[in-house]
Amino acid sequence: MSLQKLRIGLVCPYGWDTPGGVQNHVRDLAEYLIAKGHYVSVLAPVINESAIPDYVVSAGKPISIPYNGAVARVLFGPIAFSRVRHWISDGNFDLLHLHEPAIPSISLLACWAAEGPLVGTFHAAAKRQKAIFAIGPILEPVIEKLTARIAVSEAARETLTEHLETDAVVVPNGIYADLYRDGEVRAEWSGNTLGFIGRYEEPRKGLSVLLEALPIIARFAPDVRVIVAGPGDSQDVRDEIDPQLRHRFEFLGRITEKEKADFLSSVALYIAPNTGGESFGIILAEALAGGAAVVASDIPAFDSLLGGGEYGALFQSENPQELAKVVIDLLRDADKRKSLAQRGKVYAQRFDWDVVAEDIFSIYEMALVGGKGVTLSSENRAWNRFLGREGN
Amino acid sequence: MEKFLSIALVVIFIIWYLSYSATRLDRLHHRVETSWANLDGLLQRRAAVALEIAKSDIADPASALLLTAAAHQARDAQMQTRSQAESGLSGALGLLLNDGHLVDGYIEKDLLRELSELTDKIRVAIAMHVDAVTRTQMVRKKPVFRIFRLAGSAPLPVTYEFEADVL
């Protein structure tokens, strides 16, 4: 990375202390850039202001709105806008990096208020969003201020082209591939095991699809077991499981990074039956890096992350029969499973933060050419030009 | 009185809107200029690296001649012939590097790494520039911008055939 030390402002649209892929991405990126010696300030909505790291500046408490099939905790309004303006004018930034600037959030407000080198990252991959179509003409002049656009996947890029008629460079979300490279195989998790990681109580994570597929799988693989890791109240979920299948389930609760690495090395297949609302699918990148053979639903984000099935098997989303078919096929054919996992592991290196952050930084450098730092947006620049003054 | 007020409001709104639109267009022109400056700089650096490669052990005398000629052409090209000259350089580099012969020596490996990094960056820079140009062209086609001549005397940015040709 370059020796030049920058002052970088990152804007995270979603509540900092609520779990989510975008928040994790912003946090990791901020910490990576700080470790490289840059000055980084993150502006984000925050619920509990006493528990944030010192590089985060609170923009206020987020409000919950339904968005993209899930509840988004975002923030906007006049008070937030004035905080955004203060943050920009006090920060004296060389560059702003706005995440998800096309949704009503402080990212959009920052894009509105700022001028200079602006980079925007688009995370969402959603087809046919009528809301965006409706406000497209209003967004257009704001979004076109961005010097450079990044999409986290091909699917996100298509969404962007479709809705806002603008192109983007694809840079994926990052993972710390090192953490998952050398997991140990644990006997209690190996065998004909299906792994699942995530907040399994949320319907969109699709555990119910796996539940429906399980009786069919069990007919062909009598010793199949499902191991579920992630926070949640397992008793509620357990009660809903057919008593005949209950003994096949094991709930681990929240696991550590080390356990996650071992988990991914041990399970026969990693299953991601998500039904939607996924912007990138970072867990799949981690599963691949951990050497697991992956079976995932064919929602746009997963399809593009798995290279259309090249690095992990896909099944039609919300179709338990097809999930069962794919799983049985792979459980029976160990060679096929191993070669799939091997291809995936090599491929997953491109999601490592060292690669991803380098790509993002190279885009920063390009955005900085000819810029003189970030300032509050001036609506007078055209007048300056008409009056013959040297405007910028 | 009320009528007068509402007319005044409408006039103020129109003036604000025109000023806002002119500012918007001005920003776009600025984006075109800076993204071009970025792309131009990267292409210049590539030509310089190509000349280094021509002088190094990577190139045999015949390829070296070809490469040197192409690099100089790319450097000296006028705006109209720039795209063609840059594609020529890409072609010359491709001929030399795609025949798969192995390179040893630190300097040579460094040169090749620098070239491949530059190529990646140029690809991104082209995308950024093309986006700025098409955006500007689209906005300038809108009636408001044409009727009120909000572009002033700024020339309409031109698309070069960069996407397909340069790399």
Instruction: State the Cα–Cα distance between residues A301 and A94, nearest whole angstrom.
Output: 32
Give the predicted TM-score (pTM) of the model: 0.86
Query: Higher model confidence: residue B155 or residue A351?
Result: A351
For the cut 50, the answer to whether the pLDDT of residue B60 exceeds it is yes
Structure tokens at A327: 């799983």
Q: In the structure, what pLDDT confidence band is assigned to residue A200 with cuts at 50, 70 and 90? A: confident
A329: nearest Cα among B56, A118, A321, A242:
A321
For the cut 50, the answer to whether the pLDDT of residue B150 exceeds it is yes
Provide the pLDDT for residue A382.
61
Asked which of A106-120, A126-140, A322-336, B31-45 is least confident by mean pLDDT, the reply is A126-140
A370 vs B contacts (CB less than 8 Å)? 30, 33-34, 37-38
DSSP state for residue A246 in the 8-state scheme:
G
For every residue of B77-144, DSSP letters joined together read: --HHHHHHHHHHHHHHHHHHHTT-----SHHHHHHHHHHHHHHHHHHHHHHHHHHHHHHHHHHHHSHH
Instruction: State the Cα–Cα distance between residues A110 and A194, nearest whole angstrom.
Output: 44
For the cut 90, the answer to whether the pLDDT of residue A69 exceeds it is no
How buried is residue B147: exposed, middle or buried, by Cβ count under 10 Å (0-12/13-18/19+)? exposed
Provide the pLDDT for residue A381.
65
Interface test with B, best of A2, A122, A147 (most B CBs within 10 A): A147
pLDDT digit string (tens) for A243-283?
888 889 999 988 988 999 999 999 999 999 999 877 788 99
Instruction: Mark yes or no for CB contact B27/A381 under 8 Å.
Output: yes
Q: In the structure, what pLDDT confidence band is assigned to residue A1 with cuts at 50, 70 and 90? A: very low
Contacts of A380 (CB under 8 A, 6+ apart): A391, B23
Around Cβ B137, how many Cβ atoms within 10 Å? 15
pLDDT digit string (tens) for A12-66?
999 998 888 899 999 999 999 999 999 999 999 999 988 899 999 999 999 888 7
Asked which of A3-17, A187-201, B81-95 is least confident by mean pLDDT, the reply is B81-95
For the cut 50, the answer to whether the pLDDT of residue A390 exceeds it is no
Mean pLDDT (chain A) is 88
A312: nearest Cα among A250, A259, A269:
A269
pLDDT digit string (tens) for A329-349?
999 999 999 999 999 999 999
Stretch B149-162: mean pLDDT, rounded? 72
Provide the pLDDT for residue A136.
67
Instruction: State the Cα–Cα distance between residues A205 and A197, nearest whole angstrom.
Output: 9
Stretch B100-121: mean pLDDT, rounded? 82
Provide the pLDDT for residue A11.
97
Percent of chain A with pLDDT over 90: 59
The single-letter code of the amino acid at B160 is Y
Instruction: State the Cα–Cα distance between residues A88 and A103, nearest whole angstrom.
Output: 19
Tell me the residues of A at the B interface, defined by beta carbons under 8 Å apart: 115, 141, 144-145, 147-149, 165-169, 362-363, 366, 369-371, 378-383, 385-386, 391-392
A166 vs B contacts (CB less than 8 Å)? 131, 135
Are B164 and B144 within 8 A, CB to CB?
no
What b/e sequence results for A333-343 when a residue is b if at least 16 CB atoms lie within 10 Å of its CB, and e otherwise? eeeebeebbeb
Q: What is chain B's Cα-based Rg? A: 23
Provide the pLDDT for residue A131.
58
B150 vs A contacts (CB less than 8 Å)? 382
Taking CA atoms, what residue in A is nearest to B151? A382
For the cut 50, the answer to whether the pLDDT of residue A374 exceeds it is yes
For the cut 90, the answer to whether the pLDDT of residue B82 exceeds it is no
**Segment holding A63, helix H or strand E:** strand A63-67
Query: Higher model confidence: residue B24 or residue A380?
Result: B24
Which stretches does DSSP call E strand in B13-136? none
Structure tokens at A19: 């779990």
Provide the pLDDT for residue A137.
73
3-class SS at B158? coil
The single residue listed with the structure tokens 């006997």 is: A187
pLDDT digit string (tens) for A278-320?
778 899 999 999 999 999 999 988 998 999 999 999 999 999 9
pLDDT digit string (tens) for B116-146?
889 889 988 988 888 888 889 888 888 888 8
Instruction: Mark yes or no for CB contact A167/B23 under 8 Å.
Output: no
Provide the pLDDT for residue B164.
47
Q: In the structure, what pLDDT confidence band is assigned to residue B66 with cuts at 50, 70 and 90? A: confident
From B23, B121, B135, residue closest to A379, measured CB to CB:
B23
For the cut 90, the answer to whether the pLDDT of residue B98 exceeds it is no
From A165, A369, A381, residue closest to B37, measured CB to CB:
A369
For the cut 60, the answer to whether the pLDDT of residue A388 exceeds it is no
Stretch A102-108: mean pLDDT, rounded? 89
Q: In the structure, what pLDDT confidence band is assigned to residue A360 with cuts at 50, 70 and 90? A: very high
pLDDT digit string (tens) for A135-178?
667 788 888 899 999 999 888 888 888 877 788 899 999 999 98
Provide the pLDDT for residue A129.
57
Name the minimum distance, in Å, from the CA of B100 to any CA of chain A.
Answer: 23
Are A171 and A386 within 8 A, CB to CB?
no
For the cut 80, the answer to whether the pLDDT of residue B43 exceeds it is yes
